[in-house]
Structure 1
Amino acid sequence: MPDLTHKPQPRTLGLTDITVGIPSSLRNPKTVKEPRPTALWNTLEFKLYYVACVVVIPLMVWIPVSLSNPSHPNFQMFKSKLSEGWLFGRQIDNSDGQYRHFRNNLPILTYAMIAYTVIKFLRVHAFKVDPYSNIYLIPINLAFSIIMVLALHGTSILKILAILTINYLIARTCKGSKVGPVLTWIFNGGILFLNSTYQGYQFNTINPALAFLDKYQGIDPRWDIRFNITMLKLVSFNMDYYWSFQHVDNPEVDINKLSDKQRTTISHPQDLYSYMNYISYVLYVPLFIAGPIMTFNDFIWQHRRPKDITQVTVIRYIIRFLISWFTMELVLHFMYVVAIKDRKAWMGDSPAQISMIGFWNLIIVWLKLLLPWRFFRLWALLDSIDPPENMVRCMVNNYSPLGFWRSWHRSYNLWITRYIYIPLGGAKHVFLNTLLVFSFVALWHDLTFRLLAWGWLVSLFVIPELAVRYLLPASQYGKKAWYRHACAVGAVLNILLMMIANLVGFVIGTDGIKFFVARLFGTVEGLQFLVFACCCIFVAVQLMFEYREEEMRRGIYHRC
């Protein structure tokens, strides 16, 4: 008799593997009631879209490369911003300070990651205490954390520990009282403001007798800049501890098989909200510098019941990181758009050229944030900790402001949702809460008008999407032939607005955007290019729509 037992087929790589996988987004396609529409990849419509891509995408690459050519009239304006490169004898545009700091220190960080991982590996396999729990590793995590913060920030560790201790005392003193969350937010908001105002403080301003401590400020004296990430962890601990007093055990929940969401929302016994666990969480080495952001509950659950992180998962992640890193190197060696933007070396350029300067600057912003987040998450994975993934999708695979925000800084979005959006009422007051959330996000990044303007612009640009979703719900019109194309037109507007908002917030500011807008809308050539660009974006959006449909056919349901 033949074996009729179902054997799962080995999983093969497909188109949807371009997007980072998130376990919480996976569903069994057989359990989904609504069948997905037939794939459009082989239709005449999409074959025309492929032709457009073959023509337009090379142009989008060639334009910034040509602007970076030494023979270009504006080259001398930004030449001094370039450095010696290592690819094909070309110079490199390493002028972005934020990425330069990471890129130049990547070898040291890699050595530190390897040393940390090897030491932890030897510790685990030499003195394994509990085969089902890693709680016993908390003290060694703490020791590593203290050493790292001392090396990074020197004597400023005293300031950091003082702030952490005060925050801890607020939580432990207030316990389940509603005063706790209020004091937590006031204290942490005040610390962010004071850090920005006094730039980390000096010991001699506290007491002249302590001036000698200012001589030992570590590798990175500006501890206050990195404290914004730390502040999120302080709020997380206090709020998780506060909610633990309202927690009721559910006997139906198997703590050995918790989902990502359950590890965040299910509280621990009171004794696990200890000072040692708190400091170990806040200063956890792999995630201290740049995140991704984990909640306290999740961090402790991953020690109590470690996730099964396979070698294959880690190896694939290393390969993904290396591909992303090399992509960034290619861009910086062939497209000097950051230097062009900084020196405003765009005089005489056409609207198409100016738009590509802005577009590729946004790509570089995406990559310069993606790489540190991928690196430090890789470090955590090697340590058997699985923090939330940031930047689930490529920057150019977004058409919705809400979806873009969910996929961009995903771990921060999860933090915002748990600690701000839901406590404020969530979707009951969606616009007001969105305005408050993005105002907080902007001020959290930096207390500047430019980022506050970005927050307000994003909040404003969300309104059209919310209005259209209300007036033309997919549940009612989704099967109409015209609906997909109408959504694509709206998505074109969304993308243009998102590009404007992010150029203002992270690239050229409010003054720079005026020049870009004037060139696009104030000239006939600019308007002609704008129409052409909108047609190209329309094609791209149709491909994005079908890509998401392909994901859902495979049981992948991202909310972005």
Structure 2
Amino acid sequence: MIFNSYEFIFAFLPITWLVFFLLNKLELFKLSTIWLVVSSLFFYSWWNVAYLPLILILMIFNYLLGSVLRKSNSGRRARYLLVFGVAVNLAVLCYFKYYDFFISNINFAFHTNIPLLHLTLPLAISFFTFQKIAYLVDSYRKETEQYNFWKYALFVVFFPQLIAGPIVHHKEVIPQFSKALKVLNVENVSKGIFIFTIGLFKKVVIADTLAAWATAGFDTAGKLTFIDAWMTSLSYTFQLYFDFSGYTDMAIGAALLFNIRLPINFNSPYKAVNILDFWKRWHMTLTRFLTKYLYIPLGGNRKGTVRTYINVLIVFFLSGLWHGAGWTFIFWGTLHGIASLANRFWQQLGLRMNKYLSWFLTFQFVNVAWVFFRAKTWEDAIKVLKGMAGLNGFVLPEKFAGMLGFHGITPVKEMVLSTITGTSIIYMFVYIIIIFVIVLACRNSVKLMDDLKPNWQMAFFASALFMISIFNMTKVSEFLYFNF
């Protein structure tokens, strides 16, 4: 089940919410927590019930091991237990997500023929694996409390954040289960509905529209000219932006209906003025996890410049691998690592750059790097990049080529993307320009939610967005980060 489905919006969410607050009204607080856990497991099982035992076994295993680590002395035995627990979680992740990738590379390198398993990736395994590892490490450090099992279970499977984050920390949400759940809060409900609606609009109206153009360029077109290639790359750049920020808004909104405030995971990243700033704004809870549980344990920036640079590259390499079992993902992560090192070196030299130029270069780097992130094969990535570089020529529709009189531009009846999608290239261009302005000029949706003053105007605005979104839900499309 996904947020942008009729089943979730008109059945699962309202029923779960009503029963939850009815149980709280009757002061059956423990039962209301259990109800949320069971409902979240049902939400998870809707996609594939076969993997329900996996998440249950891992949840119980990590809870019990965390309890042992919290009570044990921080000696050799505790370190071995921690290593064992982390290894079990990573082994499960690697088996399902990376087995075929590793075997494919072994077969290629050594000319072997080891059979692939073609396993279906369990939903959310990348997210809840990191969440559980953080809990085990904090238990070893004596930074956890003796949490009630049902509250721990809710921390793991709470449906708004279960599928694609944010990667929540136990100290952020488990205390809220005790303090905030019991009483219906009208302000939280209004803000939750408001930001959920914005997120729904981002996903089904904006991201899904852009998805058709990106897919046409990356997966369907055999060759892309300059304009087609730039429309393709920008379509995906903004598709991913609105898809991920839409999910994040909907997760925050759904959680707020139950009086739970999830951490901000997305803070206008395309406004970033350098690559370090970008990673402080994009998938913020992933950046936080990698910093606290990987970068700092590796030594961070405490062991000299060379070691710092190596640590940064390791973090970004593994970030790419975490996103997907493929060399294009690894290359994307490594590109960001190299850019981060360049950014650090520039700052260490004390050099400065005009902020508008800095923003432009940052955005263009991110846009080009997304090509590798999106491409299914190296050939697809090279195809798009060659077009963006103008190596496949410059063409315009006949009526515009003649009108503008540009030399060296070949007139064609239809652009490649227009032929595939049936959409005018001019319409695409204007649409992307409008989206660009929205991204740069509009306030972050979380800030809009925090400043919300419920009134008739806001109610009308949210209702209009909701109705437009519902009428555009002609087909249910998954969020892009569900694949990671």
SS in 2 for 1:498: helix
| 1:535-554 matches, cutoff 5 A | none
- The question of 1:354 aligning with 2:254 is answered no
TM-score (norm 1): 0.58
Task: Give per-residue Cα distances to partners, 1:163-182, cap 9 Å, x unaligned.
Answer: 33333444344444233432
- Asked if the contact 2:134/2:169 (under 8 Å) is kept, the reply is yes
Q: Distance in 2 between matches of 1:375 and 1:283?
A: 16
Instruction: Tell me the SS of whatever aligns to 1:291.
Output: coil
Report if the CA contact (8 A) 2:189-2:257 is conserved. Answer: yes
Query: Offset at 1:137?
Result: 4.9
Matched to 2:53, the amino acid is L
Q: 1:349-428 alignment to 2 at 5 Å?
A: 349=225, 351-393=226-268, 395-428=269-302
Distance 1:420 1:312 in 2: 38
CA distance change for structure 1 residues 514 and 157 in 2, over 3 Å: closer, same or farther?
closer
Q: Which residue of 2 aligns with 1:181?
A: 82
| Aligned equivalents of 1:376, 1:544: Cα separation in 2 | 23
For residues 15-52 of structure 1, the C-alpha deviation after alignment (integer angstroms, 9 at most, x for no partner) is xxxxxxxxxxxxxxxxxxxxxxxxxxxxxxxxxxxxxx
- Asked whether 1:171 is paired with 2:54, we answer no
Task: Give the Å deviation of 1:103.
Answer: 7.2
Q: Does 1:281 align with 2:181?
A: no
Mapped to 1, the partners of 2:204 and 2:50 lie a distance apart of 36
Q: Deviations over 1:83-110 (max 9, x none)?
A: xxxxxxxxxxxxxxxxxx8476354355
Partner residue, 2:335? 457
Deviation of the 1:300 alpha carbon: 1.6
From the superposition, tell whether residues 413 and 147 of structure 1 become closer, same or farther in structure 2 (CA, over 3 Å): same
| 1:408–1:510 CA distance, 2 compared to 1 (3 A) | same
In the alignment, does 2:94 pair up with 1:196? no
Counterpart mapping for 1:69-84 below 5 A: none
Q: Which runs of 5+ in 2 are unaligned?
A: 101-118, 395-405, 407-432, 448-484
Q: Is the 8 A contact 1:338 1:361 kept in 2?
A: yes
- The answer (yes or no) to whether the contact 2:224–2:387 under 8 Å persists in 1 is no
The one-character-per-residue Cα deviations of 1:198-223 (angstroms, maximum 9, x if unpaired) are 79xxxxxxxxxxxxxxxxxxxxx956
> Does structure 2 retain, via aligned residues, the 8 Å contact 1:421–1:437?
yes
Whether 1:157 aligns to 2:42 is no
Counterpart of 1:436 in structure 2 is: 314
Q: 1:466 aligns with which of 331, 337, 344?
A: 344
- The 8 Å contact of residues 317 and 333 in structure 2, kept in 1 or not, is answered as yes
Q: Percent identity?
A: 18
Q: 1:401 to 1:236 in 2, by over 3 A?
A: same
1:243 and 2:141 correspond? yes
Q: TM-score, normalised by structure 2?
A: 0.67
Q: Please name the residue that 1:121 is paired with.
A: 21
Contact kept? 1:153, 1:222, Cα under 8 Å? no
- RCO comparison, higher one (Cα < 8 Å, 6+): 1
Letter in 2 for 1:423: P
Distance 1:484 1:106, change over 3 A: farther
| Aligned position for 1:202 | none
How far 1:421 moved relative to its partner? Answer: 2.4
Deviations along 1:105-157, whole A, 9 cap, x unmatched?
A: 3543552111111111111122176xxxxx78544433434444455543532
Which of 274, 279, 293 aligns to 2:167? It is 293
Letter in 2 for 1:500: V
- The CA deviation at 1:435 is 1.6
Residue 514 of structure 1: which of 382, 396, 407 is its match?
Answer: 382
Quickly say closer, same or farther: Cα 1:362–1:186, change in 2 above 3 A. Answer: same
Query: Structure 1: which 5+ runs fail to align?
Result: 1-100, 130-134, 200-220, 245-266, 474-482, 529-536, 552-560
Deviation of 1:185 after TM superposition, in Å, equals: 2.6
Displacement of 1:363: 0.6
What is the CA RMSD across the aligned residues, in angstroms? 3.7
Question: How do 1:496-511 and structure 2 match up within 5 A?
Answer: 496-507=364-375, 509-511=377-379
> Per-residue deviation at 1:291?
2.2
Q: Which moved more, 1:354-363 or 1:147-156?
A: 147-156
| Separation of aligned partners in 2, 1:138 and 1:238 | 23
Counterpart CA distance in 2 for 1:427 and 1:509 is 35
Q: CA deviation at 1:385?
A: 1.0
Q: Is the 8 A contact 1:340 1:346 kept in 2?
A: no
Q: State the Cα deviation string for residues 406-430 of structure 1 (Å, max 9, x = none).
A: 2121222222223222333333344
What is the letter of the counterpart of residue 226 of structure 1? A
How many residue pairs are counted as aligned between the two chains? Answer: 375
Q: Using a 3 Å threshold, how does the CA distance of structure 1 residues 433 and 276 change in structure 2: closer, same or farther?
A: same
Query: Where does residue 5 of structure 2 map in the other structure?
Result: 105
Measured after TM superposition, the shift of residue 314 of structure 1 is 4.4
The corresponding residue for 1:339 is 215
SS at match of 2:261: coil
CA distance in 1, matches of 2:224, 2:162: 45
Change (3 A) 1:104 1:140: closer
Deviation at 1:503, TM superposition (A): 1.4
Contact 2:23 2:31 survives alignment (8 Å) = no
Moved more, 383-392 or 315-324: 315-324
2:125 to 205, 214, 227: 227
Partners of 1:181 and 1:239 within 8 A in 2: yes
The alpha carbon displacement at 1:361 in A equals: 1.3
